[in-house]
Amino acid sequence: MTTLVNRQFLLVSRPAGEPTDANFRLVETNVPELADGQVLVRHHYLSLDPYMRGRMNDAKSYAPPQPLNEVMVGGTVGVVVASRHPAFAEGDRVASMGGWQEYAVMDAAKPGQLRKIDTTRIPLSAYLGPLGIPGLTAWYGLLRIIKPVQGNTVVVSAAAGAVGSAVGQLVRRAGARAVGIAGGAEKCRLAVEEFGFERCIDYREHRDLPSLSAALAAACPNGIDGDFENVGGMILDAVMINANAFSRVAVCGMIAGYNGEPIPMAAPQLILTNRMTFEGFIIREHPEAWAEASADLGALVASGALKYRETVAHGLESAPEAFRGLLKGRNIGKQLVKLV
């Protein structure tokens, strides 16, 4: 077999603030011969996600830091091009954590390394969005933590992102009101017209806490019963001011502080005053829910009942700039890099 050349992005230094091109190095290596039990995958799409910024820091977190001079972590979907494992054959569509590279040699015998996916009714890329970590995160955070009932009001920050856009639709499906927060008129329009939100607040029009809190109060006249929090900072402060007693907050992300910015709470006493429940969660720690969530989300995506958007950059070399754009909110829906 002709030797294949693999292009990879390595993390070579830790960012101080916003990541720059100097933090990454694009290298070329030959794809090694497969050993027994291994599978070679050609990646078609790479997922870019906010959690990657936290992994770049050498700091305590829910996951170990990304090692320097190794392939940058990331979810991928692709096609098996060679296999020495009986459960996988050439042509199989698969999902994995293959990283920022065009090919990956996977140990198929290792649990959780590689899973087959069905693309007969669902596009390959959707397994990184509504049927990937974002969709599973939306499903679990809403239905297992916030647990909305008919008539509740649920606020969702980053409402036009991959997670938030799914949450809005699941809120409406549960019979509750979804109020989104997003950056820009176009994102707010999509949140209302496509993603199930009854109202959407453009945080760029509300630059201070009193203004944003007043906008939330107007959009949530009966208060806030649940908050799916992707951003933190001033947005979370405004939610807490308008929260009802016994409201529930699913803490999914704190993107306001991903580049090292301090994000103190303005009024932590409201947790007690409103008897609020906060629960941070990482979907990979709840595999017991994956089968139910995947079946539910798969039926919704296949039928067209769950809408989703993708922002696609082209070519592995575009990944660093696309990642910076993600952290600045330039994407709508799932940020992907198309590699084939």
The residues spanned by each domain of the chain are 5-129+309-338, 133-284
The token pair that represents 57 in the structure block: 């820091």
Q: Say what the pLDDT of residue 258 is.
A: 81
Q: What are phi and psi of 169, to 5 degrees?
A: -70, -35
pLDDT band at 110 (very low <50, low <70, confident <90, very high): confident
pLDDT band at 153 (very low <50, low <70, confident <90, very high): very high
Enter the CATH code of domain 5-129+309-338.
3.90.180.10
Over residues 118-131, the pLDDT tens digits come to 999 999 999 999 99
Over the chain, what is the mean pLDDT?
96
What's the CATH superfamily of 133-284?
NAD(P)-binding Rossmann-like Domain (3.40.50.720)
**pTM for this predicted structure:** 0.94
> Is residue 109 scored above 90 in pLDDT?
no
Rounded Cα gap, residues 107 and 255, in angstroms? 33
Q: Say what the pLDDT of residue 61 is.
A: 81
Q: Is 92 exposed, middle or buried (0-12, 13-18, 19+ CB in 10 A)?
A: middle
Over residues 195-226, the pLDDT tens digits come to 999 999 999 999 999 999 999 999 999 999 99
3-state secondary structure of 163: helix
Over residues 1-50, the pLDDT tens digits come to 578 999 999 999 999 999 999 999 999 999 999 999 999 999 999 999 99
The token pair that represents 332 in the structure block: 């709508």
Q: Say what the pLDDT of residue 1 is.
A: 52
Amino acid in position 282: I
Q: Say what the pLDDT of residue 59 is.
A: 84
> Would you give the end-to-end CA distance of the chain in angstroms?
20
Average pLDDT for 295-322: 98
Over residues 74-96, the pLDDT tens digits come to 999 999 999 999 999 999 999 99
199-202 and 177-182 beta bridge pairing: parallel
